[in-house]
Chain A
Amino acid sequence: MTDNSEITRNGLWSNNVALVQLLGLCPLLAVTSTVVNGIGLGIATLITLVLSNTIVSLIREFVRKEVRLPVFVLIIASLVTIIELAMKALFYDLYLVLGIFIPLIVTNCAIIGRAEGFASRNPVGPAALDGLMMGMGFLVVLALLGGLREIIGFGTLFANAELMFGDGAQRLTITLNPDYGGFLLAVLPPGAFFGLALLIVTKNWIDLRPVEKPETATPVAEGV
């Protein structure tokens, strides 16, 4: 179970935070209107996950079982505060775009879930790796969903990249079709649900393919 390739596979695919555990949906659905927003929040969550898993694993011998959850929350909250202040200092524009969702990383169930379910029972190495892989899995889904919604909604990709990578990144922005009027539904909240459902369908379809005929979308979509 704690073997490294197993942890990697779990985090990225078979136990993916967003596609399988369906955790952290609030930020996932709210900020993924563009790739850059998705990646920005994804990286912030990733850092939080790695650090919180590491610290929780380090102190797991010293914390009494009865008070472990408050302690975990304190650790996560401190880490998120650090990250929030760092983002405010380094990527101020991105910080303004993501707004309330950075402090809300504290409440992301994925983080406390990994702290409680994995880091508090495993040594530091696997715990940190688990945080990294779970965070990567989350980050990839955020970026994919952001890309999907941005392409359909605005017809662009990597818009506002300068928020994260500095002014030189402005030419990263790809406009697929200058005449594209935009499909607002994809950018509005329903688009996030449809997009996530499509990603989950795709994942399940890939999983089921070699075994049997692919299922229809309905039972999967209900999981959202």
Chain B
Amino acid sequence: MIQVIIALLPGTVAYAWFFGPGPIVNIGLAIVFALAFEAAVLKLRAKPVMPHLTDFSAVVAAWLFALCLPMHAPWWLVALGIGFAMIAGKHLYGGLGFNPFNPAMVGYVALLISFPREMTTWYLPGAVSGQTLSLAESIAYSFGSVDIGQWDALSSATPLDQVKTGIGQGIPIDEIRQAPLFGEYGGRGWEWIALWWFVGGIYLLISKTIRWHIPLSLLTAVMSMALIFYLIDPAVYASPSFHLLSGAVVIGAFFIATDPVSAATTDLGRIYYGLMIGCLIYVIRVWGGYPDGIAFAVLLANMCVPLIDYYTQPRVYGQK
């Protein structure tokens, strides 16, 4: 789990570089709340507290959860989401190792469907708005001591959201992507952050923390789906590079889908699992109700894991 935290650092730093220290505040809050909830539930269940806290699984879950949130989120939103993740997503199923669903995604989805307004108030990268909040301002915002109104000018739809809305109104992709929100390949800022997640992901592969099956099959699925539809009609379907470098595909492929507890456990199964998530991400993005679909795709694939594992048991040598 320490390896995962190390691998998350470059992307997180890049995120804060483009969008200000808001994400760092979210991560800090989420970790504090995650450890508090974890300790409280372990105490209730009469389990040893310290060994479970120092395995860092709660820290990683909190970190990934916080990265899903908008850059500036009120503290109660963070607390509620991570609380739901830890209690309903993890401990009600029996704690670490028994949860069928990725706890971070459970917490995120619970928030997304409960608080659509708070969860979709995203902010522009500093390069576009010319201004990011300072650390003190971010903290003040989290604790509600600063009025939301004065930063309304800084909030905006995410690039994926923009594309979805634009296509809904019949505007061709090329025209939508003229907006300053968009960079060379994906969203401005977002594309670089995605690259840094990729670096972290490579580190995870080299350090043998994760295997290549899930990330590779997931990215392949997203890219091939995007390529097929891009070739059919480039005015309506965004290019593969846009899909790869916008939103959460890269972090999802390396960090979220590879959760060792809730992912498939056989090599062949991991490939099916990755393919399934990749296809679902594309389907949700293009035809679904939400601009991005990593969380829903991962949760839906989690549901299929027992079935995938059952049908992909490797044959024991010498057995029929």
Chain A interfacial positions (CB closer than 8 Å to B)? 181, 183-186, 188, 194, 216-218, 221
Q: Judge whether B92 and A184 touch: CB under 8 Å.
A: no
Q: Which residues of chain A are within 8 angstroms of B115 by Cβ–Cβ distance?
A: 181, 183-184
Contacts of B320 in A (CB 8 A): none
**Bound: A99/B115 CA distance, A:** 27
A185 touches B113 (CB 8 A): yes
Nearest-neighbor residue (CB-CB) of A188 within chain B: B113
- Which chain B positions have C-beta within 8 A of A185? 110, 113-114
Tell me the minimal C-beta distance from A27 to chain B in angstroms: 23
For the complex with contacts A185-B114, A221-B92, 13 further pairs of A-B residues with Cβ separation under 8 Å are A181-B115, A181-B117, A181-B118, A183-B114, A183-B115, A185-B113, A186-B114, A188-B113, A194-B88, A216-B45, A218-B92, A218-B93, A218-B94
Q: Cβ of A216 and Cβ of B114 under 8 Å apart?
A: no
Is B130 interfacial (CB 8 A cutoff)? Answer: no
Judge if B316 is at the interface, Cβ distance under 8 Å.
no
Interface residues of B (CB under 8 A from A): 44-45, 88, 92-94, 110, 113-118
Evaluate contact between A184 and B114: CB separation under 8 angstroms.
Answer: yes
Neighbouring A residues of B110 by C-beta, 8 Å: 185
- In the complex the two chains form, what is the Cα distance from A188 to B116 in whole Å? 13
Distance (Å) between the CB of B12 and the closest chain A CB?
Answer: 28
Q: Which residues of A contact B114 (CB under 8 A)?
A: 183-186, 188
In Å, the complex CA distance between A90 and B114 comes to: 35
Contacts of A183 in B (CB 8 A): 114-115
Residue on A with the closest CB to B111? A185
Specify which chain A residues have a CB less than 8 angstroms from the CB of B88 in the assembled complex.
194
Min Cβ gap A221→B in Å is: 6
For A216, the chain B residues whose CB sits under 8 A away are 44-45
CB distance from A193 to the nearest CB of B (A): 11
Most buried by A among B88, B92, B94, B118: B92
Cβ A184 vs Cβ B116 within 8 A: yes
- Complex CA gap A188/B93 in Å reads 21
B93: which A residues are within 8 A, CB to CB?
Answer: 218
A188 to B110, CA, bound (A): 11
Q: Are B44's CB and A184's CB within 8 A?
A: no
Residues on B with beta carbons closer than 8 Å to the beta carbon of A218: 92-94
A199 to chain B, nearest CB (A): 16
Residue ID in chain B nearest A153 by CB atoms? B114
The smallest beta-carbon distance between B123 and chain A, in angstroms, is: 20
- What residues of chain B lie closer than 8 Å to A181, measured between beta carbons? 115, 117-118
22 A-B pairs with C-beta separation under 8 A: A181-B115, A181-B117, A181-B118, A183-B114, A183-B115, A184-B113, A184-B114, A184-B115, A184-B116, A185-B110, A185-B113, A185-B114, A186-B114, A188-B113, A194-B88, A216-B44, A216-B45, A217-B92, A218-B92, A218-B93, A218-B94, A221-B92
User: Which residue in chain B gives the minimum CB-CB distance to A222?
Assistant: B92
CA distance in complex: A183, B115 (Å): 7
Q: Which 9 interchain pairs have the tightest Cβ spacing?
A: A185-B114, A184-B114, A183-B114, A185-B110, A216-B45, A218-B92, A184-B113, A185-B113, A221-B92
Q: Which residues of A contact B113 (CB under 8 A)?
A: 184-185, 188
A194 surroundings in chain B (CB, below 8 A):
88
Q: How far is the CB of B120 from chain A (nearest CB, A)?
A: 13
Minimum Cβ distance to chain B for residue A155 (Å): 13
B249 to chain A, nearest CB (A): 26
**Which residue of chain B lies nearest to A187 when distances are taken between CB atoms in the complex?**
B114
In the bound complex, what is the Cα–Cα distance between A122 and B110 (angstroms)? 48
Give A217 to B116 CA distance when docked, in angstroms. Answer: 29
Shortest Cβ distance from residue B290 to the other chain A in the assembled complex, whole angstroms: 15
**A84 to B102 alpha-carbon distance, docked (Å):** 45
B110 (CB) vs chain A CBs: closest residue: A185
Which chain B positions have C-beta within 8 A of A184?
A: 113-116
Task: List residues of chain B with CB within 8 A of the CB of A217.
Answer: 92
- Residues of A near B94 (CB, < 8 A) are 218
A28 to B93, CA, bound (A): 24
Given the complex of chains A and B, what is the CA–CA distance between A218 and B47 in angstroms? 15
